[in-house]
Every structure is written in structure tokens, then in C-alpha cells.
Amino acid sequence: MGAHATHDHIVHFYHLAALDWVDIVSALKADAKAVSNLGQKLSSWGGNSYNEVKASQDRLKTFVGSGQLGVYGSGYWGHPAMKLSPEVNMLAAHHYLQALDYQREINKVVAILGSKTPHIQNVAVGGVANAINLDSPSTLNMERLYYMKTLIDKVGDFVENVLLVDTAAVAAFYAEWTKYGSGVTNYLSVPDMPMDTKGTTFTLPGGYIPDGDVSKFQAIKSYQDPFFRDNVKESIKHSWYDGDWDRHPYEEDTAPKYTDFQDKGKYSWVKSPTFKGKPAQVGPLANVLCMFAAGHEPTKKYATKMLDTISALAGAKVGIAALHSTIGRIGARSIRCAVLYDALKAQWQALVENISKGDVKTFNHPTFPAGEQRGFGFHEAPRGALSHWIVIKDGAIKNYQAVVPSTWNAGPRNSQDAMGPYEASLIGNPVADAEKPLEVLRTVHSFDPCLACAIHMVDKTNNEIVKVKAV
């Protein structure tokens, strides 16, 4: 989980969101010497030497010069909302290329524990299907464990001294974006990385903050906590499902009924979740604010480092209130990445210590008593709070509903017609060029919309220059 989130957050910033803020074409004009100096001033990272920056810039020049920039079909080069200097653009582009290497390393940890990637295969009801035997070459053994440690160690410097610093720099140079995109400021996150089998103590706290007021934080304390269990509902008033109701997940059904787009009626496949009857934002920002409110020391440390870096670069004191924004969501993702990375290191250590004590159990056989059973489980996923709800009757599944992070954020209006986080966050966003709504992308991308539900069909109709021939 730690490795997966670290990977996911690095990729989100450099390879999904960064090109909304960084102009690669402008980067070609940068003086490589000045870029290297800037990089060394901002961070202790060893990968900002003149030679390395120059090599990245040469590669970029070749790429752009050969007319291949078109592969970034929707890049808004030269857009009036692009504000970074050529040097800052080039530094970010240099780290974009380096990030390709680091994401690969940390994803190998996911592959080792998950048996393969993509599509990990080790998760089972009751535990994980990872055999541990230090004497066997085909299970999780010391050689594998230390290979994981090597991979984990490689990435730490990059997370703290490149990702965290770069996102702080983007936030400082685009300081006006701390004023846009706050949207829904009820924040929900769940505790994660349990330290006992019952799920009553957690490495990472979670809970609920209403109205953006961290002093009103209320913790979710266990996997059984009624505060979470009793306060989640979903509405389908504006969703393409049969009926019009507000229900608890145990009582829901998911019966598709498409009606075409109705401005006042049903217009989305996404349901509309609420917590305590109100929309809630989920994701790294919600998680960081809740962990901060809970007094979680690593979160306070990295949040302070981020805010201090922004303040120094912007030349003005920036406080935690600036995080309620589009750019705040991006900064919070880096803070969370650094927190998760430290937790990952601690988890590796705890695993090795347990194994050395002879504890190699990875699975508790589940039993399902007769009659009707209800249960829920949650996880703080890279895009936010994820919960699954199940009703089992006489050993068979009677109802199963998943309330997933992008549903919380992307949901249409709820039964009270209150806006969800995406919609609310776009109110007041500036748009310099309506034909190229880069600013809208900035805000929507800051939530890290999920991809797994997408359709990957390639469409030739918008691109006549490409030839295919029937065989």
C-alpha cells in the first residue's frame, strides 16, 4: 500500500498534472547552467548537475525538433495561463524525465508483493496470498526482502527533495491558484495501516472535518466505528439508476436506467455520496488535513516543510489555509507521498522484525456464520477514502456496494441538489481562453480522477492524417 501510493503520487504530479503548469516548449529556451544553479539552490538533490540538465534539454530538443510533440495531444504549449520562467519549466521537465526512472523502481516493490503488475493478485479475503519462507527461493525470502529495501531506499531522496520541492515551487510561482478551487470543504478520510489484527490502532489517522474547520475534526477510530458506518449514504436523484432515493450502502441497489442527459433530472453514471447528509471531498488533501488535525507528527513535519518552502519562494507567509485550493490539492499529495514513504520504510522494518520472530502468518481463514451478516471495510486509497459494504445471507452475497473515491469527488448533485466537489471547485475558476480551458483541467486534474473505469478505445475519426488499412 505504501509503495503503491508512493508510485501513484509521483506519477500523478509529473506525468499527469505537471504539464498543466509546465510549458515544455518554453523549457527549450532555458540556459542549462542557470537551471542547474536554480535546482541546486532549491534542493539538496544530487541530480541537478549541469551535465544532467543539459542531457535532458538535448533530449527534449530532439523530441520537439522531430515533430513528435503531437503525442501529447492536449498539451497547451504557449497558453497565456502558463507563467513559469523557461528555467523553472526546464527544471520541472528534467525531473519529469527522472521521475520516469523512480516510478519504475518503486513499482517493482508493488510487483514483488503483488505477484505481478499490472493487476496484482495477492489480495484474498482474510489476508494476502504471500507465502513467507526464508529457506525457499520461490517465496518471500531474505533476498526478496532486501531487494525491496534497496528499491525503497532509492526513492526516498527523490520524494522529499524533488517531488515535495517541485510542487512547493509550482505553488509559489502560481500563488494566485491558492484562491481557486476550494469547492466542498467537508473533508473525509479513513485511518489506514492498522497495527493490530482487529484494526483499532493505525499508523495513519483519519476522520471528518466539516466546513474546512480543522478544530472540528472528529476521528474515525476503528474498522468498526459507527461514526463512519452510520453516516455514509448515496443519492441517485441525478444518476442513471432506477428510482430516486437516499440510502445507506447496505440498503442500496445499482440498477442502471439510462435516460439521456436531463439538465434538471438524471445526467450521470456516478452516484452522489454524502457524509452526515452533506457532500464531502476525499483524497490526499482531506487525508493530510485530517492527519494534521489529529496531530500526526510526520504529517506536521512535511506540511511545515512544504509551507515553509512555498513561503520562502513566494516571499510571503503561506499558512495551512492555502491548502483549501486547486494548488493545495497538488501540494497535499506530495506531503502525503512523503508521509506514506516514511510509513513504507517503517512497515518494511516491522515485517522483517515479525519474520525474525517467526511470525510468517499472512492469512486468517474467514468464516461466515449462518443468517444475515453485514460488514464494511475501508482503505485510504491514493484518490481518497474507499469503502466496500457487503450483506451476506446464509453464506451467499445478498448485496455488495462500493463507494469509491472518485464517486465522492465527481458525484452529481445530491438529493438536496448540493454540488459535489468537482462541480463546486470550478466555480470562480478563471478561464483565459474558452477554446483552450487549461484552467478547468488544472482544477479537475488536481483531484487525480480515476482511470480504471475508462474505456480504452482508439478513435480514428478525429485524426484523419493517420492511415489504417483493413487486413
Partner 1 sequence: MNVLVLGIGNVLMMDDSVGVRAVEELQGRYHFSDGVELLDGGTSGIELLSHIEGRDYLIIIDALKSGHPPGTIVRADGEDVPARFMTRISPHQLGLSDVLAAATISGRLPANLVLFGIEPKTIELGLGLSDEVRASFDKLLETVVQELIRIGCTAEPAVTPSSGRTLWESQ
Could you list the residues that contact partner 1 (CB under 8 A)? Answer: 11, 15-16, 19-20, 59-60, 63, 68, 70-74, 97, 100, 103-104, 107, 117-119, 256, 441, 445, 449, 451-463, 465-471
Which cell is 301 given? 513535519
What is the three-class DSSP state of 56?
A: helix
Q: Which three cell numbers stand for residue 222?
A: 476503528
DSSP string, 261-323: --SSS--BSS-EEEETTB--B-SHHHHHHHHHHTT-HHHHHHHHHHHHHHHHHHTS---GGGG
- The CA distance from 107 to 129, in Å, is 19
Q: How many C-beta atoms lie closer than 10 Å to residue 180's C-beta?
A: 22
Q: What angle do CA 171, 6, 156 make, to 5 degrees?
A: 85
What are the φ/ψ torsions at residue 453 (nearest 5 degrees)?
Answer: -95, 10
How far is the C-alpha of 181 from the C-alpha of 221, rounded, in Å? 30
Q: Is the CB of 209 or the CB of 381 nearer to partner 1?
A: 381
Residue with Cβ nearer partner 1 (71 or 370): 71
Residue closer to partner 1 (CB basis): 297 or 464? 464
Least distance (Å) from partner 1 to the CB of residue 25? 13
Q: CB 416: neighbour CB atoms within 10 A?
A: 13
For the bound state, the minimum distance from the C-beta of residue 20 to partner 1, rounded and expressed in Å, comes to 7
Which residue number, 94 or 229, has a Cβ lying nearer to partner 1? 94
Min. distance of Cβ 10 from partner 1 in angstroms?
10
Q: Which residues face 202 on adjacent strands? A: 194
Here the cell at position 305 is: 516543510
Work out how close the CB of 138 gets to partner 1 at its nearest, in angstroms, rounded to a whole number. Answer: 20
- For partner 1, the closer of residues 98 and 281 by Cβ is 98
The CA distance from 326 to 176, in Å, is 10
- CA 416 → CA 62, 111, 251, 424, distances in Å? 54, 44, 19, 14
In whole angstroms, the minimum distance from the beta carbon of 468 to partner 1 comes to 4
Q: Which is nearer to partner 1, 66 or 367 (CB)?
A: 66
Q: How far is the CB of 370 from partner 1 (least distance, A)?
A: 30
194 phi/psi in degrees, rounded to 5:
-65, 145
Nearer to partner 1, 118 or 358 (CB): 118
Question: Residue 131 CB, nearest distance to partner 1 (Å)?
Answer: 24
Shortest CB 312 distance to partner 1, Å? 31
Task: Rank residues 365 and 467 by Cβ distance to partner 1 and give the closer one.
Answer: 467
Name the pairing type of β-strands 187-189 and 207-209: antiparallel
